[in-house]
Amino acid sequence: MLRSPNDLTPAHLRALFDGFNSPIAKLDCGKKCAPHNPNGKPFCCDICHAVPAAFKSEWTYFQATTDLWHPYRADDCPAPRVTEAGRAVRDADLPSGMLLLACLGPDRCQRDFRALSCRAFPFFPYVTSDYRFLGLACEWEFESTCWVISNLHAVTDEYRAEFLRAFDHLLATFDDVFENYAAHSERLRADYSSRRKRFPLLHRNGHAYLVSPRSERMQRADVASLPKFGFYKPGLRRPR
């Protein structure tokens, strides 16, 4: 019986990875964001911006199958380069049973051995205050850097379906995973509430919504008209 994500066997993990493997968009979104990063790496694959967290069972599986990963070390990102988003992830209390990893970098990525956190980025499963998993919400720390968050219309239906299937399984199987995402969703609501803004949601019903963080009231929105942030606001020029 599976009691925690750390009971996931290599066969379970391989099936999860294989069922959650479609690209997020029809184009290579890394080519959209990387030109804005001074080192030319996609932001989510730059360890100074994003530190992947993985279940310990994933790490056990990776150790036996690939040389892609190692446990995150402080010197993976030299101190002057660490960003606010990277620091926030690195310093956050990790849910029990998880660890931080670092990979060989985007030039040496092995697509089949990406962690679940790579596959889900920039989304996480959004859970309402009355404990319903409604759809895909964005990792708000990456609003200004991740092109996808400003272009949610580019996310394919196939990716959305695979995301929902993977997290329906994980959230229904493991209470602590559900609780962790419920708490993360609460942090999302608190952040947007402090900014007096509504947050975008790709709902499991296939539509997009803007959600009021205090009342949790949802207003259906044209996915192409959802807010743009940071580098991707209209009128800002692309770096050469």
**In the block, residue with structure tokens 């990063």:** 37
Nearer to ligand SF4, 78 or 130 (CB): 78
CA–CA dist 167, 125 (Å, integer): 7
Closest approach of Cβ 137 to ligand SF4, in Å? 14
Q: CA-CA distance, 88 to 69, in Å (whole number)? A: 21
Q: Is 146 in the site for ligand SF4 (CB under 6 A)?
A: yes
Q: Select the span of 55-63, 131-139, 146-154, 163-171 touching ligand SF4 (CB under 6 A).
A: 146-154
Selected binder of ligand SF4 within 20, 51, 114, 208 (CB under 6 A): 114
From the list 21, 44, 24, 20, the residue with the least C-alpha distance to 34 is 44
**Contact mark string toward ligand SF4, 183..202, x via CB under 6 A:** --------------------
Q: To 5 degrees, how large is the angle CA 132–CA 137–CA 142? A: 150
CA-to-CA distance for 89 and 1, rounded, in angstroms?
Answer: 31
Q: Scanning residues 157 to 186, which ones bind ligand SF4 (CB under 6 A)?
A: none
Binding to ligand SF4 by residue 122, rule CB under 6 A?
A: yes
- Six-digit token string for 183: 């708490």
Binding residues for ligand SF4 restricted to 16-45, rule: CB under 6 A: 29-30, 32-33, 42-45
Question: Can you tell me the distance from the alpha carbon of 211 to that of 201, in angstroms, rounded to the nearest whole number?
Answer: 7
Cβ of residue 216: shortest distance to ligand SF4, in angstroms? 26
DSSP class of 155 = B
Query: Binding of ligand SF4 at residue 52 (CB under 6 A)?
Result: yes
Q: 3-class SS at 185? A: helix
Q: How far is the CB of 121 from ligand SF4 (least distance, A)?
A: 5
Residue 9 contacts residue 58 (beta carbons within 8 Å): no
In the complex, the smallest distance separating the C-beta of residue 227 from ligand SF4, rounded to whole angstroms, is 16
Interface residue list for ligand SF4 (CB under 6 A)? 29-30, 32-33, 42-45, 52, 68, 103, 105-106, 109, 114, 118, 121-122, 146-148
